[in-house]
Amino acid sequence: MAAPASAPADSRSRPAVRDVVFVDGVRTPFGKAGSKGIYAETRADDLVVKVIRELLRRHPELPPERIDEVAIAATTQTGDQGLTIGRSAALLAGLPKSVPGFAIDRMCAGAMTAVTTVSSGIAFGAYDVAIAGGVEHMGNHPMGEGVDPNPRFVSDKIVDPSALVMGSTAENLHDRFPALTKERTDAYAALSQQRYDEALKAGKITPDLVPVSTRSSENGWGLATTDEPPRPGTTVEALSGLKTPFRPHGRVTPGNAAGLNDGATGCLLADASTAAELGLPVGMRLVGYAFAGVEPEVMGVGPVPATEKALERAGLSIDDIGLFEINEAFAVQVLAFLEHFGIADDDPRVNPWGGAIACGHPLASSGVRLMTQLSRHFAEHPEVRYGITTMCIGFGMGGTVIWENPNYNAGGEQ
């Protein structure tokens, strides 16, 4: 007799959870948002197309028809960042029409959420191979464009009004943690610029960048090959004199925060057995991830509970983590994380090649930049077994992903 429809499925039909691997990641050079930026007359969806095509060019062993999903994040999903950009960019990139795609939004953690979402599908068996990434053209679509916050957020005192201005939330973080002084944030920002410049000169940054042809009605055709935002030679003394736009006599400046930027990122993710079948390289293995909410007016502290949650679920401690890629929306937000976990401001395990304060933070794209760099660090550091990518998220959230190094040498010292 057939089982009733409400009976639980036979456990033998449930797929086993599969290992998910990060195959490779690339990004466009990041530009300055605005009429004088390198991408002022370049479409956001074309930036995504460049990323997808570069992933396929670098991996001819991957038949395009084997890609099961394309998930692309954008915070402002309108105009050239609308039209279900995961699907539209896949078509524009020349992927087979059988390859589906979708758009996703979790503000700054958009690309991170694209990765965790399709990774869950891979682990469950819904996909074998997927592309995940993000784009933000903040020149075409300024932060908050078209947003209509419900007045009850303020009238019902659900959030403090400052929660709607990210720079103000960073000032609030300074208020909450007085030990995180402006002098410390300026010193951290100068270090980020220095580390990025050293990494660039050592040839660490450029291999992950896909050149983008650009057009300007004023200057004609060009080619973007390097990040536009970095300010090499930045000193603490120079940063100390910058204005504080979010509060008179405040502590957050354009020098100790990421700027307004344009750019796109993308990565290939796969089931471990499928990667082996196709001969795809493995840059990292996914261990676990977590997202957590915090008070929106101090959103920068979000990575702390997200990391604690991810570590607990993975059965790890902060002492097990040998490399950290922390998004630098604001220096104070990074320092709040380091202070909580007892990590020095200048710890060499943290953002070894600098971070968003130097190279830029095109909102929804940044999560995959962190992951791509962590995979490169893993290749250089077989003594490190685990690393994390973590970031704060607008309106009071944090996200953390824990990764394992496939090159880990148990005989080495971390």
- Catalytic center residues: 108, 361, 392
Q: State the alpha helices, DSSP H only, in 202-271.
A: 236-240
Q: How many CB atoms lie within 10 A of CB 77?
A: 18
Classified as helix, coil or strand, 224 is: strand
From 191, 129, 116, 124, select the one nearest 344 (Cα to Cα). 191
b/e per residue 121-160 (b: at least 16 CB within 10 A): bbbeeebbbbbbbbbbbbbbbebeeeeeeeeebeeeeebb
**Residue pair 196/182 in contact by the 8 Å Cβ criterion:** no
CA distance 177 to 247: 17
Question: What are the tokens at 50?
Answer: 């460049």
CA distance 92 to 403: 31
From 184, 159, 325, 348, select the one nearest 251 (Cα to Cα). 184
Classified as helix, coil or strand, 302 is: coil
CA distance 123 to 405: 18
